[in-house]
Each structure stands twice: as C-alpha cells, then as structure tokens.
Amino acid sequence: MPQSTVTVKWTGDLQFVGTDSGKHSVVISSHDEKNHTGVRPSDMLLLALGACSAYDVVTILEKKRMDLVGLKVVVTGEQEPDPPRTFRRIHLNYMVNGRQLTDAGVRQAIELSLGKYCSVAATVSGRAEITHSFTLEEN
C-alpha cells in the first residue's frame, strides 16, 4: 500500500514550512495582520485538488493523442462560516489550450480525473460538492 510522509515545522508566529519526502518545501501561514508570508492551509487543499486533477487531465489527453498546448485550472471553494470551516462546495474551471481538441475528449478527461483517478477529489468529495466547467481555446 502506497504511503506518503510530509513534515510541517513551526518557524515562529503562525508560520510553518511544509516539506515532502523529496525535500520540496512550501511556506504555510494564516492571512491575518501579521502573517502574509505563505499559503493558507485551506488554500493548499484547493491547490492540491487543482494540481491532482490537472495532472490527470494532461496524462489522459496525452494518451488520447490530443495536442494539448496549455492548461490552467482555477479552483474556487466555498467554506462553512463557522469552525472548522469545512468546504461545502468546490468548483474547478479548466481553461484548455490546444490543437484539434474536442469537447467530448476534454469533458471525458476531466470526468475521469474527478470521478476515478484524483485521490484528492476522492477524499474531499465525501464532504464537499465538487463541480466543474471548462473552456477550449484553439491554438
């Protein structure tokens, strides 16, 4: 069974450095008056979802031999107002650039990602409603 281990180290105030097993690091902080130095933990979750799905979409479109030139995913999350402020809705908007891409091919890649392959979506979908949209730009 695959296993991941990451480390979060407090660096003072409300700032932390997260490091994965490959020694890649990210600064994490709150966004109060004192701390604007890193990514908020809740935004990290949205980034993880967007990156996980983007990885899948790129891989699936490459396997379909579609000529993908660019991909951008904007992830918007709506949180409950009270602690623990869980996400109730998350929307992913994919902006896909390429040559001779089809709506059906892109739609299928996104749906396979969110419904089958993306571990972050599978984890979050039990709690939050995940929706998506996409636009195609011919390059």
CA-to-CA distance for 30 and 50, rounded, in angstroms? 20
Q: Where are the domains of the chain?
A: 1-39, 41-138
Counting Cα atoms < 13 Å in the Cβ hemisphere of 7 gives: 9
* pLDDT per residue as tens digits for the range 99-109: 989 999 999 99
> Is CATH 3.30.1490.190 what the domain over 41-138 is classified as, yes or no?
no
CA-to-CA distance for 55 and 69, rounded, in angstroms? 14
Q: What per-residue confidence (pLDDT) applies to 138?
A: 84
* pLDDT per residue as tens digits for the range 84-94: 999 999 999 99
Which of 31-40, 63-72, 95-104 has the least mean pLDDT?
Answer: 31-40
What is residue 40's DSSP assignment? -
The interaxial angle of helices 103-112 and 41-63, nearest 10 deg, is 130
- Residue with more model confidence, 97 or 14: 97
Residue 63 pLDDT > 80, yes or no? Answer: yes
Q: What per-residue confidence (pLDDT) applies to 139?
A: 77
What is this structure's pTM? 0.93
The span from the first CA to the last CA of the chain, in angstroms, equals 41
